[in-house]
Chain A
Amino acid sequence: MSTLLVTESHLTEQAHQNMPYAKFIGLQIQIDCAQQLLFHVPFQAQNIGNTFLPAIHGGLIGGLIETAALLFVQHLHQSTHFARIIDYTIDYLRPGLAQSMYAQCQFTRQGKRISHLTVSVWQEDAARPIAFARVHCQMPSDA
């Protein structure tokens, strides 16, 4: 198994262990070609929030955003504890269809006490996100 696959499965396993909700939503952590963390939630029937389209539940999209933000901050800071989300806003841009979701995070400001990040969520095309979020985090004291 390549080093990359070992790292990805290790990160995923750790996330599942440290954050039970991450396991519940079936989160998979991947590393993209730019060496950035990529959070992937494969489609499951339990993700549905609109049976007519069908579409993924907006609350689950929010859950992915929070999960991605916390794991991203912890990974980049190599901290033992998770940061604490102070507030976040999700803008829902397009319906999430019955397929995989991907999320990536970006620091807008990385501080000692407070960090600000943006999270983009998409399905087939990163340039056509289904949701976009701004997150304010309080950094853990050991960061």
Chain B
Amino acid sequence: MNNVANAVVYEALKNYYLNLPHCQAIGLQFEQTIGTTPILSVPYQACLQAEQHSQRLHGGVMTTLMDVTCATAVSAHLIEVEALATLDLRIDYLQDALEQAPIFGRAQCHQLNDDIAFVRGTCYQASSQPHIIATATATFIRTALPTDVQQIITKAWIS
């Protein structure tokens, strides 16, 4: 169950991000929202491997997953549809990913200022023991959108 600031805004932005060409290309999927914490995932795919002989996803896939998850986490706090642009993103790789397994990302926006949003997230794999592969720390700059653009996005991305 979620308690996002504006369910329509959250749904529209979440769907917009998930349907971006690059997100579609890597097979990014939405799992669920717990409170204001979105959870997204990317399935294991051989074409996204880091190395020829080890069946683990490349860090670039993790970076993309965490960038989108963090943006979605900000969206959970927005009252209106806005543009978010990543200012910086730090990834700490804690341990190797498990082979042939999907990766999950969850994030929480812990501070939302007028112009800047601060987010922390983790990238993990669901095994019997929690297997955290990476942590992410991101900042975003917020830009207000004209009402007509907000309406275009809302109309296009609410099912």
Contact = CB atoms under 8 A, between A and B. Distances in A.
Interface in A66-115: 66-67, 82, 84-92, 95
B31 interface: no
Interface of A: 17-21, 23-25, 45-52, 56-60, 62-64, 66-67, 82, 84-92, 95
Interface stretch (B6-14, B21-29, B106-114, B124-132): B21-29
Given A46-B22, A49-B20, A91-B87, A63 B46 contact: no
A92 B93 contact: no
The 7 closest A-B pairs by CB, nearest first: A63-B60, A59-B64, A62-B63, A21-B58, A57-B22, A46-B25, A20-B49
Interface of B: 20-25, 46-52, 58-61, 63-68, 83, 85-93, 149
B155 to A, nearest CB: 14
Given A58-B86, A92-B87, 17 more contacts: A21-B47, A21-B48, A21-B49, A21-B60, A25-B60, A47-B22, A49-B20, A49-B21, A50-B20, A52-B149, A57-B21, A57-B64, A59-B61, A59-B67, A62-B64, A87-B91, A89-B91
A23 B65 CA distance: 19
Contacts, number: 118
Contacts of A88: 90-91
A19 B90 CA distance: 22
Nearest to A90: B89
B50 A19 contact: yes
Contacts of A66: 58-60, 63
A102 B91 CA distance: 21
A84 B56 CA distance: 13
A48 B67 contact: no
A109 B93 CA distance: 20
Given A19-B50, A58-B67, A90 B88 contact: yes
Given A24-B47, A92-B86, A59 B58 contact: no
A116 B90 CA distance: 15
B22 A48 contact: yes
Contacts of B90: 87-90
Contacts of B49: 19-21
A64 B60 CA distance: 7
Contacts of B23: 49, 57
Given A21-B61, A63-B59, A92-B88, A86 B52 contact: no
19 contacts: A18-B52, A21-B48, A21-B50, A21-B60, A21-B61, A23-B47, A46-B24, A52-B83, A59-B65, A59-B68, A62-B64, A62-B89, A62-B91, A63-B61, A82-B51, A85-B59, A85-B93, A86-B92, A88-B90
